Structure 1
């Protein structure tokens, strides 16, 4: 038999064998074993056109025919990534993450990237000093603090001890004649630890004429990179020019902890105005004992805008920057003091110290000839006599309503009796302006700290005034026609929040 026939015969035999099998009628179904569980085949979400992956498999095989995806987000992603070859579409999610990060960084660049990068540089610089990896240099650039009408303190900090450093200064009166005789300022230093050495120099005997002071820090000859020279305005007396501004004072308070917001406030103030002095109503740092706070939250921001080196500070201490020992290495050993600048008698009080000694000093100061003859009498005290916004629980249950209460109960009547014109305070983190008879009260605690929005008291002095729950700064101008012009500005948008004018009530001599 041929092979063909054999094959054919075999096929026929199989066919016959199948036909010879007994037929199963409809009443006798084929037995099914119940010992084997049934297998369920699930269709992957991506194959059905649903789920986050959408129609990923639609383009993989022509036999997979489905309708369009119902996932709009997936369709949008496919459209956005249509420029990518389909074979590489599996990398789209890393691309999405990359594009999202790029968009975020772009946004930060046009919004706050410069601010955050500046804050980061403050932190990195401070860490480098703390780890003692930097050569001998300035941790804190020189900062100026007004001590009295003819004395300014120059305070700086280094990471090394150089006993031979000295300071000299030269005065330049406004009429242009330069005093070529350099005057040396007494310099001392205090070692807080091996990388924090605070230097203090005193510029005393400054001439009682308006002009500029140039001061120079002379390092040892082997450390010439530490040489520094700066100039600031000294305006002890108002010139007899009725048609011009005499001096400009910037005013801020309570920048504690919020470095980024503090930078915005300083940037807005320095970009739009030139100031001769800076008033700070306290709480420059959150923790007085933290050397890092003083570095990154106060000194570095002021140095970033060259304010500390060229603008003397009129400073009072708040509850967060109060030193019970009275050392104050970064601001000078001062609690209460007074001086005259541009016709304004500044009376700086300490709301942290309830003492009879301060009471007697204040009464003597208000009766002094310098206070009586000044164009304006201005009191600077951190806690306002009339704090109206605070945290309710702390105010009621933690006794914080009693902080500085002596300023209201004992000092207000004394200030009114001696014709004080203006009281500037901080502590409360917002802006307020009120009035009681002829005396104006202001709260300027908006230089960075979280804003206070809970009202805890209802004092009558604020009834006809202004309340602004905004971060802000103040510009105070003194003019030759014996006016004090007050303007408060929003630090975010630059809008003017408030303004008023005081006319001197002191009789002309």
Structure 2
């Protein structure tokens, strides 16, 4: 009898192991994952699904010192608490905050919440979690390596309408980075879904595949570039912008030039942020405007952009398209969609010596490095144009134009690993299986002479608007006015490049005018960088910060002042 039991164990143990292995393989199969998502969507529509997270928290890049975090549940969470904390990476004190999130009911089965983390300037690591009586999340961590000189960025685009292929690409990405490892950030260059108005598209084509990869969206902040399929341009309440308000809509955001708007209404969004040793500018290709053009010129001229080792622009529609559907290209007028990028923006890219322009839209891979020689060597430029539209959508294989400029063309699905390490940029494109299809490396000891606009190279005066409310949000009442003064001082140091900052008495009076608890929401200041008359002073230049009274902040931008 004992021998019989041993034989049964010897037979059953391998069978159980094989069964578990089979379940593991099936769980990772893209088709099985798709069936799970479709079944869950049907249960949602029938209101049979229990109260769970539909979309776990997604962290979006929101400038240099903030993150926008959004999540969605199948029912109301009641009064959830969003908790975040930051550990100082440069000696700054730790911060710990509890925030009541913003809430929006999309329909009976889609309840969306969002909150802002920040400011976290100088923090080396940020953590966050969501909790309520019935639902909660683990503690997630963002290492914030993108704010140092090194960063590893995953670049993808145009996965819309191809969730099965997208999952295959993501499986290749997961193998590339290794078990448990995540990139420092994700740059998605647009067209995440086929139809912005479809809740099912957002779930199946974007969020579920990325969530199944293994926590990428929770730990790697997402820098999202709007594509023509991603947002509803109707400027009416109740439109379909359920998932493209990460840079507008719910919050007043001075950096992006937007005003608070009703739930779901549309605003153009464009922004800039730091990615390691690079500065990234994101543009909205769908909606050219005077406001965006002014923003682009202002950012290209900014000290932060000019001082960066590498200058990158991301815009969904490429300036130079070669592959498309011939009928829609010629007869439907789609050849004109990106003309403003080529005719207006590309000139500015060359003028301000952008290093890399990243686009999607065209569903394949192309890369070109163009050196333009000019009569004046100082005005010559070298730009790399890259199209990365192969994360899952149907491929474009028919040529409609030939610009005679692309060094590499690959008509297959792919992803890109962008590594920024101090003075070196490494761009490596992989096919869905993880094989290398293209490599590019840019190395420089420093910016060409005369190209980097050092803050110490000139005496200059500029006027700025500082959004104090956003920068002192969460500070205790008895510390707000002193905190506002420190914010102004730090703002002057960052924008003028001087350690010596002197606050004018009238500015100090304006900040404290309503007491220690209530500081102005916005304040207009004049920053004057001047030479230090004291020859023995350690700092050769200092910044004098004065108060500029204004009747309204509407339409005010950063401007040079002649003194």
Paired residue for 1:196?
Answer: 110
| Deviation, structure 1 residue 178 | 10
Cα deviation, 1:441-487, whole Å, max 9, x if unaligned, reads 0000010011111010011322xx1000111000000113x111000
What SS is found at the alignment partner of 1:197?
Answer: strand
Q: Is the contact made by 2:146 and 2:185 (CA closer than 8 Å) also made in structure 1? A: no
| Whole-angstrom CA distance in 1 between matches of 2:227 and 2:98 | 33
Residue 439 of structure 1 and its aligned partner are, at CA, apart by 0.4
1:311 aligns with 2:220: yes
The size of the alignment, in residue pairs, is 389
Relative to the length of structure 2, the TM-score reads 0.66
1:429 CA drift (Å): 0.5
Q: Aligned-pair distance for 1:127? A: 1.7
Deviation (angstroms), 1:338: 0.6
Counterpart in the other structure of 2:51: 136
What's the CA shift for 1:251? 0.4
Offset at 1:323? 2.2
Q: Which residue of 2 aligns with 1:425?
A: 359
Aligned equivalent of 2:140, options 220, 230, 255 = 230
Query: Which residue does the alignment assign to 1:76?
Result: none
Note the alpha carbon deviations across 1:376-423, whole angstroms, 9 max, x for none: 111000000001100111111111101121000101011110011000
Report matched runs for 1:364-443 at 5 Å: 364-437=298-371, 438-443=382-387
Give the distance between the partners of 1:400 and 1:185, measured in 2 at CA: 45
Question: Structure 1 residue 134: deviation in Å?
Answer: 2.1
What does residue 436 of structure 2 align with?
496
Partner residue, 2:193: 285
Q: Residues 248 and 113 of structure 1: is their aligned pair in 2 closer, same or farther, counting only changes over 3 Å?
A: closer
Give CA deviations for 1:119-147 in whole Å, capped at 9, x if unaligned: 11111112222221122221111111101
Verify the 8 A CA contact 2:197 2:241 in the aligned structure 1.
no
2:288 corresponds to which residue? Answer: 354
Offset, 1:503: 2.5
How many Å apart are 1:232 and its aligned residue?
1.7
Residue 257 of structure 1, CA deviation = 1.1
Aligned to 1:300: 208
RMSD across aligned C-alpha pairs, in angstroms?
A: 2.4
Q: What is the distance in 2 between the residues matched to 1:362 and 1:432?
A: 25
Shift of 1:283: 0.4
Q: 1:185 to 1:461 in 2, by over 3 A?
A: farther
Structure 1 113/196 Cα, relative in aligned 2: closer, same or farther at 3 Å?
closer
Classify 1:248/1:300 alpha carbon distance in 2 versus 1 (closer, same or farther; 3 Å).
same
1:155 pairs with 2:155? no
Identify the residue that residue 5 of structure 1 maps to in structure 2.
none
Larger Rg over CA atoms = 1
Q: What is the CA–CA distance in structure 2 between the aligned matches of 1:444 and 1:336, rounded to whole Å? A: 20
Q: Distance in 2 between matches of 1:470 and 1:227?
A: 37
* CA distance in 1 between partners of 2:369 and 2:404 (Å): 9
Unaligned runs of at least 5 residues, structure 2: 1-21, 249-268, 372-381, 455-563
Give the direction of change, closer, same or farther, for the CA distance of 1:198–1:113 in structure 2 (3 Å limit): closer
Deviations 1:212-234 (A, max 9, x none): 21101121xx31x4243211221
2:127 pairs with one of 202, 214, 219:
214
Shift of 1:113: 7.8
Q: Residue 481 of structure 2 corresponds to which residue in structure 1?
A: none
Could you tell me how far 1:290 is from its partner in structure 2?
0.1
CA contact (8 A) 2:365 2:410 kept: yes
Q: How far apart are residue 150 of structure 1 and its match?
A: 0.4
- The 2-side partners of 1:115 and 1:238 are apart by 36
